[in-house]
Amino acid sequence: MISPIIVRRIVRHTAIALALVVLISCGGKNPVPKFDGDRAFKLLVMQTDLGPRVPGSSGWEQFQSMARQFFDSLGVTYETQPFTYPDYLRGDTVKLVNWIVHINPGKGNRILLGAHYDSRPRADYDPDPNRRDQPIPGANDGASGTAVLMHMCELMVAAPPAVGVDLVLFDGEDYGPPGRNDQYLLGSTHYASNYDGDYDFGIIIDMIGDSDLNIYREVFSERYVKDINDLVWNTAARLGVSAFIDSLKYEVIDDHLPLISGGIPTIDVIDFDYPYWHTLADTPDKCSPASLDAVGRVLLDVVYGR
């Protein structure tokens, strides 16, 4: 468990560092803050130190407190979106919460950047069959995308972009059992059904902390939102970020699909070649600050280039 005092110290130290950040130009019309992969990795570890963030668990409850302290300390505008889900398999009701952080809330043209913060309730593919009913640590599958967005929030508060950005941390993405797709993507499905905004586009990031990062174009994203795929991969090529590989590979069921169905053109940025997926070995040592940095650099350039 992370002490609230430690969280406040980390945020205070980061605020001082951000005040000294040197802005660099990356070819867009706005100055682009420098992404710090080491800082993002610390935010990843802060999450995994809470334990698994399965909805309703102790780690999940601690994440709610940590997130509130974090965003309060930045003075950013945010809201929570609580909702419930009837789990027919367990016979009870699950409480979930989406977090929505508004950068430049008065701006009409907005971009959605999303990631899920929950971790999976069961290690379905763990090599040890006796441990497959245990919740996974979710370092890459959950904490990595959330860490990148949290650090981006710090940077955008210190040096706001010209456009509006909503950073959305989705709950319940990885809740369902195998073969029950209706019990996955709970937070994004709820958000897509209830949002009243108008986004230019959205980008979901998931499993982007893998030390051996190789991000291919995702098939559904390419099929339905090719122009945004092109924007992201062209940006990566211009920046020389080789982790973005310009070819198709996987069809992934992820949070972008409910958003697309709800009228938000959204792509999925994901590295699905991860041998520790849905195992108890999905721990921070399998992740890399350099991978977080690669994704953060590309996303910042996309946002600040608008």
Average pLDDT over residues 42-51: 98
Residue type, 31: P
Output the six-digit token pair for 163: 């456009």
Residues above pLDDT 90, as percent of the chain: 83
Please report the pLDDT score of residue 22 as a whole number: 37
Please report the pLDDT score of residue 89 as a whole number: 65
Does residue 70 contact residue 110 with C-beta atoms inside 8 Å?
no
Does residue 163 contact residue 107 with C-beta atoms inside 8 Å?
yes
| Pairwise CA distance, residues 37 & 7, whole Å | 18
Task: Tell me the pLDDT tens digit for each residue of 260-278.
Answer: 999 999 999 999 999 999 9
Nearest to 134 by CA among 124, 144, 149: 124
Average pLDDT, the chain: 91
Residue type, 2: I
Instruction: Tell me the Ramachandran region of residue 214: left when phi exceeds 0, alpha when psi lies from -120 to 50, beta otherwise.
Output: beta
Does residue 243 contact residue 193 with C-beta atoms inside 8 Å?
no
Task: Tell me the pLDDT tens digit for each residue of 181-217.
Answer: 888 999 999 999 999 878 999 999 999 999 999 999 9
Task: Tell me the pLDDT tens digit for each residue of 75-134.
Answer: 999 999 999 998 766 778 999 999 999 999 999 889 999 999 999 999 999 999 999 999
Residue 70's contacts (CB-CB under 8 Å, 6 or more residues apart) are 7, 11, 150
Q: Give how far Cα 166 sits from Cα of 102, 172, 200, Å.
A: 5, 19, 11
Higher pLDDT, 37 or 17: 37
Three-class DSSP category at 227: helix
Domains of the chain: 4-304 (3.40.630.10)
Instruction: Work out the angle at residue 253's Cα, subtended by the Cα atoms of residues 248 and 257, and round it to the nearest 5 degrees.
Output: 95
Three-class DSSP category at 91: coil
Please report the pLDDT score of residue 248 as a whole number: 97
Nearest to 47 by CA among 166, 175, 144: 144
Average pLDDT over residues 226-238: 98
